[in-house]
Structure 1
Amino acid sequence: MNLWEIFVGIILGMVEGLTEFAPVSSTGHMIIVDDLLLKTKELFSPEAANTFKVVIQLGSILAVIIVFKDRFINLLGLTKAARESVDSSNRLELKQVIVALLPAGVLGFLFEDYIDEHLFSINTVVFGLIIGAVLMLVADFFRPARPKAETVDQVTYKQAISIGLFQCLSLWPGFSRSGSTISGGVLMGLSHRAASDFTFIMAVPIMLGASSISLIKNWQYFTLADLPFFIAGFITAFVFALISIRFFLKLINKIKLVPFAIYRIVLAAVIYFVFL
């Protein structure tokens, strides 16, 4: 393992951390950085590269857990106050998160192989980037004049299941999980911050489950020689995801989704003209 390979791991971890939870599609960025600039396919086997992508995704997930640690502790009933609480009408419950996870979880389980074999192409990613951008513009221009839920604790079961249905769109590569769910939440009457909080919270179990399954499938391709590459990517993804999430949550109520939609369209154009 040489310094260049560690550098590649750092760059890919940085891209993963900065884009995984922003509504800009981490897949689209990975296509540009990985295939065009770093040529990791020439450095590692496809199996090792896939395992690495799972590892850096776990780094991003850890960042979300750190940011929302108090929220997860309450959701799991790990504090005395949460266990003794009778009135749950004024706080988010684990049942609402589970309800939101079901649609995409079921579809992802049923069609995982088909998605991996037929939908991961540059054409489909470009399409996902553009249609996702349109959804975000629609969400910003047609959202309710006054949010029904200013905070994530005001999310109803109806809103939760609706956001879960919007998350199904993210199974299409390039659409973006956060882009689809935040847009869906805004259209259902959540503030941009409440929709973002709910998106990040529900991302942890579904991403953790999918990443764990992928890691188990590809574990035999892990070698000690690749360990510095994996460690560099994991740590970098964690650090940059931590920075990205905190920065995004502070700004989202002010800037809304339009800037991200414009950025996605520009990114789709770049990928189209460079690769197609």
Structure 2
Amino acid sequence: MYFIEILKSIFFGIVEGITEWLPISSTGHLILVEEFVQYKDQNEAFMSMFNVVIQLGAILAVMVIYFNKLNPFKPGKNKVEVRRTWQLWSKVFVATLPLLLVFKLDDWFDANFHNMVSVAIMLIIYGVAFIYLEKRNKAQAIEPTVTELDKLPYKTALYIGLFQVLALFPGTSRSGATIVGGLLNGTSRSVVTEFTFYLGIPVMFGASALKIFKFIKAGQLLSIGQLFLLLVAMGVAFAVSMVAIRFLTSYVKKHDFTLFGKYRIVLGSVLLLYSFVRLFV
């Protein structure tokens, strides 16, 4: 039976690795998965912590793929490259500030909106936003004003960070919110996508640390079995994220976000229908 639990961890890791980076809401998909795939004899405290901490595997993929770009101490970097790296980190910090100011609201949002109907509504709203923005930009021939990450203004970084706060609503998608913010502010798809990857580093490490702290503070302890299930999911999330990040980076160079918008609308509609049917079954 424990083999089945391992398979479930692998499945959770696959879902996390794909949906964390594509702008389709990892939370929405995990809620859907939990509806049909549940661990045997695992309490709510463990699952709440599990769903956040597996993100560490996903964010590790970003750090591996972009290690040279993110590392200011890399041997061989000249002064200009080192300065650019520190500027990138400072922009990430600026963009993270809005979320730091309101992170205590996370529990409130989870308590009031962590349900299938709320997630479905946010999936649809941002799906419509993606399609609208892409159509507007094409119809008005709007060209991005920021086409290089090094030239991303601090003001724009802060603007994108403000949109990241909207991801407190389950179903929004952190990457989805920041991408919408970037597109609204004239940032190219490639630049806002890459910057979104970097924004995940402090956010995911911070969220994971907070969840672990609350888990321990509540008197919970991980069993060896639970730790193994968590590590398996993190490992799979890392491997799948390596592929998903490279895919999205390549995809946005030639395509827009319309397909993701349509997917969100379809998924959100399915979740709403399922929630409605469940009321009578």
Normalising by the residue count of structure 1, what TM-score does the alignment of the two structures yield?
A: 0.90
Deviates more, 1:255-264 or 1:119-128: 119-128
Name the residue aligned to 2:279: none
55, 72, 76: which one aligns with 2:70: 72
Bigger mean CA offset, 125-134 vs 2-11: 125-134
Decide whether the 8 Å contact of 1:142 with 1:187 is kept in 2: no
Give the partner amino acid of 2:120: V
- Report the residue type matching 2:110 in the other structure: D
1:135-174 Cα distance to aligned partner (Å, 9 max, x none):
2223323347222121211101121111111112111110
- What displacement does 1:13 show? 0.7
Q: CA deviation at 1:228?
A: 2.8
Q: Tell me whether 1:136 sits opposite 2:134 in the alignment.
A: no
Q: Which amino acid aligns with 2:122?
A: G
CA contact (8 A) 1:135 1:180 kept: no
The alignment status of 1:120 with 2:119, answered yes or no, reads no
Tell me the residue number matched to 1:85: 80
User: Is 1:261 the equivalent of 2:261?
Assistant: yes
Equivalent in the alignment of 2:208: 211
Distance (whole Å) between structure 2 residues aligned to residue 89 and residue 235 of structure 1: 31
2:154 counterpart of 1:154:
no
Please state how far the C-alpha of 1:90 moved relative to its aligned partner.
10
| 2:128 alignment partner AA | V
Q: Note closer, same or farther for the CA distance 1:19–1:86 as it changes in structure 2 (3 Å cut).
A: closer
TM-superposed deviation, 1:87 = 9.6
1:137 counterpart letter in structure 2: I
Name whichever of 231-240 and 220-229 sits farther off. 220-229
Question: What amino acid maps onto 2:37 in structure 1?
Answer: L
Give the conservation status (yes or no) of the 8 Å contact 2:124–2:265: yes
Whole-Å Cα distance in 2 between the matches of residues 57 and 88 of structure 1?
29
Q: How far apart are the structure 2 equivalents of 1:27 and 1:162? A: 23
Count residues with an aligned counterpart: 270
Q: Distance in 2 between matches of 1:38 and 1:218?
A: 22
Query: What amino acid maps onto 1:257 in structure 2?
Result: F
SS at match of 2:54: helix
How far off is 1:91 after superposition? 8.6
RMSD, aligned α-carbons: 2.2
Q: Deviations over 1:42-96 (max 9, x none)?
A: 53111121222233111111111112212221xxx32466683399589953221
Alignment check: 8 A CA contact 2:61 2:242 kept:
yes
Counterpart CA distance in 2 for 1:82 and 1:115 is: 43
Matched, 1:270 2:267: no
- The residue number in structure 2 matching 1:225 is 225
- Say yes or no: does 1:104 pair with 2:103: no
Are the aligned partners of 1:192 and 1:256 in contact in 2 as well (CA < 8 Å)?
Answer: yes
Q: Which residue of 2 aligns with 1:15?
A: 15
| Corresponding residue for residue 38 of structure 2 | 39
Do structure 1's residue 54 and structure 2's residue 52 form an aligned pair? Answer: yes
2:199 partner letter: M
Amino acid at match of 2:12: L
Percent identical residues: 33
Distance 1:55 1:166, change over 3 A: closer
Q: SS of the counterpart of 1:173?
A: coil
Residues 18 and 134 of structure 1, relative CA distance in 2, 3 Å threshold? same
Which amino acid is 2:11 matched to?
I
Within 2, Cα distance between the matches of 1:29 and 1:120? Answer: 12
Q: Supply the distance in 1 between the matched residues of 2:98 and 2:108 (Cα, whole angstroms).
A: 17
Secondary structure of the residue that 2:170 maps to in structure 1?
coil
Q: Quick one: distance in 1 between partners of 2:58 and 2:271?
A: 24
Q: Is the 8 A contact 1:26 1:176 kept in 2?
A: yes
Query: Which amino acid is 1:25 matched to?
Result: S
Unaligned runs of 5+ in 1: none
Structure 2 stretches of 5 or more lacking a match? 277-281
Moved more, 175-184 or 99-108: 99-108
The alpha-carbon deviation at position 230 of structure 1 amounts to 1.6
Is 1:133–1:265's contact at 8 Å kept on the other side of the alignment?
Answer: yes
Q: 1:165-224: per-residue Cα shift (whole Å, max 9, x none)?
A: 111211111011111111211221111010100111111111111111112221433111
